[in-house]
């Protein structure tokens, strides 16, 4: 068992860290203020080829694994870019995995190179207002009419839809009443987000202002049959190939955000003088920070285990969910402690830790709640009866 990163992995992290140095605290504070998509950061990663880190080399990608992608996303978040920087690009990493795995050669050649080059951006449209995490109950329908599908319905919490040219869409092509299993009858499409047929309505939210979240209203969107990924009715099976990588990458980002918060808190604790001594000399300050370091390190080990299993073609549902849970909780605790260590200044935007605290709520909530992770582990790992 070897815990050391390879030379290639070290080089990847160093390259990403160097790129991120060009986008410092002032840049991310400005994006948090004006809400403008970090297009310069997105394009910088595209220019150096990082948007295709997990894509096939023959299409312009790097051909690396989710392990390397997790290292990349942690490094981005840890640079101070936080969830804003990570969310600007991570759809490219996990979202199109079903196309890589199940798309035909013509689809991959048509769909993937523009994402890798950064000339197109995509959003991931699965979640709906009245179904939440019960994906089998999706209501958005795609009706077959000749050589195309016509889509009607609604999606919610769809990131980057304000700037995306493409959408990865899961919709029901067979009514749930007409299938033997409720996971059947859902189809997956990757198509143009035609704003004449899709209303995109932004949702104001507490953090990550520069990467938009939206409600989508589909009113007769026409999708060519050649934009359907794989077989009709098997979209639920296909989308699962993106869910575990998504959990792994979100976990990596939560660790990165927790680490930068811990770094800021530690530096402040060394410098801040109260009652004639640095506050970091007090155990009431030291111990919570030390706990956070241990928790983040443990969470990172689970992230790496989950990523390794995925890259080896092994089952990784339990590990991916556990990584997401542990990293989100550790990151949240570290960001909270960073604010508290700064005291009143922790509430000030110029110290950045309040931004980290607002953003770290994302991996706690999405893409699956901590409670459902616990239900999954209880049922699938411990063999306890299903509770929902």
Listed in order, the ranges of the chain carrying CATH 1.10.540.10 are 7-117
Listed in order, the ranges of the chain carrying CATH 2.40.110.10 are 122-234
Q: Helices in 196-316 by DSSP H: which ranges?
A: 235-271, 283-311
Who's near 9: CB < 8 A, 6+ residues apart?
67, 68, 71
Q: What is the pLDDT of residue 95?
A: 84
DSSP reduced 3-state for 59: helix
Which of the listed CATH numbers 1.10.940.10, 3.40.50.1820, 3.10.580.10, 1.20.140.10 matches domain 237-381?
1.20.140.10
Q: What is the pLDDT of residue 287?
A: 98
Give the largest CA-CA distance in the chain: 79
Rounded to whole angstroms, the Cα distance separating 349 from 32 reads: 10
Which of the listed CATH numbers 3.30.300.30, 3.90.380.10, 1.10.540.10, 3.40.30.10 matches domain 7-117?
1.10.540.10
Structure tokens that stand for 294 in this block: 């241990």
Q: What is the pLDDT of residue 297?
A: 98
- Could you state, in chain order, the average pLDDT of each consecutive group of 10 residues for the chain (388 residues)? 92 98 98 98 96 93 95 98 96 87 96 95 94 88 98 97 97 95 96 98 97 98 98 94 92 98 98 97 98 98 97 96 98 98 97 98 96 97 95
Whole-prediction pTM value? 0.96
Top-tier CATH class for 122-234? mainly beta
Rounded to whole angstroms, the Cα distance separating 128 from 324 reads: 22
Q: Which of 117, 92, 296, 335 is nearest to 207 (CA)?
A: 335
Q: What is the pLDDT of residue 131?
A: 86
Q: What is the pLDDT of residue 125?
A: 95
Q: What is the pLDDT of residue 2?
A: 85
Q: Count helices and strands (H / E) in the chain.
A: 14, 10
């Amino acid at each position: 068992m070897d815990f050391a990163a390879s030379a290639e992995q070290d080089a990847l992290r160093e390259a990403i860290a160097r790129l991120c140095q060009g986008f410092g605290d002032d840049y991310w504070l400005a994006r948090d203020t004006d809400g403008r998509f970090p297009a310069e950061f997105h394009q910088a990663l595209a220019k150096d080829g990082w948007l295709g880190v997990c894509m096939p080399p023959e299409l312009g990608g790097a051909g690396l694994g989710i392990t390397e992608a997790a290292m990349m996303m942690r490094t981005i978040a840890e640079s101070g870019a936080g969830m804003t920087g990570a969310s600007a690009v991570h759809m490219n990493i996990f979202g199109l995995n079903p196309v890589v795995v199940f798309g035909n050669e013509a689809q991959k050649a048509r769909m993937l190179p523009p994402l890798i080059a950064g000339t197109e951006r995509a959003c991931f449209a699965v979640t709906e207002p009245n179904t939440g995490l019960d994906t089998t109950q999706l209501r958005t329908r795609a009706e077959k009419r000749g050589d195309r599908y016509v889509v009607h319905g609604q999606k919610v919490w769809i990131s980057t839809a304000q700037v995306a040219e493409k959408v990865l869409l899961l919709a029901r092509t067979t009514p749930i009443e007409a299938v033997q299993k409720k996971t059947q009858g859902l189809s997956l499409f990757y198509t143009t987000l035609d704003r004449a047929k899709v209303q995109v309505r932004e949702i104001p939210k507490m953090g990550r202002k520069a990467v938009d979240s939206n409600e989508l209203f589909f009113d007769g969107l026409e999708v060519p049959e050649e934009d359907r990924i794989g077989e009709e009715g098997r979209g639920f099976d296909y989308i699962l190939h993106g869910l575990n990588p998504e959990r792994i990458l979100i976990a990596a980002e939560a660790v990165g955000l927790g680490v930068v918060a811990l770094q800021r808190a530690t530096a402040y604790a060394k410098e801040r003088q109260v009652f004639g001594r640095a506050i970091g000399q007090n155990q009431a300050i030291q111990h919570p920070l030390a706990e956070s370091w241990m928790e983040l390190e443990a969470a990172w080990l689970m992230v790496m285990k989950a990523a390794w299993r995925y890259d080896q073609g092994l089952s990784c549902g339990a590990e991916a969910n556990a990584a997401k849970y542990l990293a989100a909780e550790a990151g949240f605790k570290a960001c909270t402690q960073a604010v508290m260590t700064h005291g009143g200044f922790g509430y000030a935007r110029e110290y950045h830790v309040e931004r980290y605290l607002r953003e770290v709520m994302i991996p706690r909530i999405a893409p699956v709640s901590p409670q459902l992770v616990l239900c999954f582990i209880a049922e699938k790992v411990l063999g306890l009866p299903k509770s929902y």
